[in-house]
Amino acid sequence: MKNVRKSAFAALVIGFLFTFTLPLQAKKDKGEGYQIQPHINAEDAAASVRSALSKISVGKGWTKQGKRGEVKLEVPLLLADKIVARVTLNPSTGEIMTKKQGLQIQKISVTPEQAVKTVQELIPHLEVGSPQLGKSGEWKVPLLFKGNTVAEIGVHGKDGSILPDWKASKDAAMFGK
């Protein structure tokens, strides 16, 4: 009976050690390196976006309501009828906003059609910024207007093709009536 208790206790201790030491080993490697190493470099990614910039067109704009009731006005950038990025505008003034810039505006004064016209005038002035490597091995290439990031285009890390923006496509399907 004592041998059974000793072996059960030993199994419990071993199980306990494995349970708490294996996650520590996994956390040790977390954040080091990327899951997928890209085959193209940052210069190639930027060159892909530069060559595609002349072919980019503007899609139909939409408005959506945020979590706190704020209104967002967005216009998609299209390449071969696929949404590759989106530009956000101030819904009360129609000015181009930088990426990740948030406003707490509940009233819209600019129509999506006016926003599309503003973004069409913006496209010839867009510049390509310095690419950054994303989590999945894709390159994120910022589009700059007067030195500020207004949109971001994804570039496939293996073949250099421009990636569609699935979140913007989802928003366009939901809010772009």
Whether 101 is in a domain gets the answer yes
Q: Domain count of the chain?
A: 2
Q: Is the confidence at residue 32, as pLDDT, over 70?
A: no
Regarding pTM above 0.85, the answer is no
Label residue 8 by pLDDT band (50, 70, 90). Answer: low
Q: Decide if 137 contacts 38 (C-beta within 8 A).
A: yes
Q: Is the confidence at residue 160, as pLDDT, over 60?
A: yes
Residue 62 and residue 28 share a domain: no
Whether 89 is in a domain gets the answer yes
Whether 37 is in a domain gets the answer no
> From CA 124, how far away is CA 117, in angstroms rounded?
13
pLDDT tens-digit series, residues 9-24: 666 656 665 566 555 5
Boundaries of domain holding 131? 42-175
Counting every residue written for the chain, the total comes to: 177
Closest CA to 150 of 71, 89, 63, 91: 89
Residue 109 and residue 59 share a domain: yes
* Residue 107 pLDDT: 77
> From CA 28, how far away is CA 98, in angstroms rounded?
36
* Residue 11 pLDDT: 64
* Residue 148 pLDDT: 92
pLDDT tens-digit series, residues 63-92: 888 777 888 888 999 999 999 999 999 888
Whether 13 is in a domain gets the answer yes
SS3 60: coil
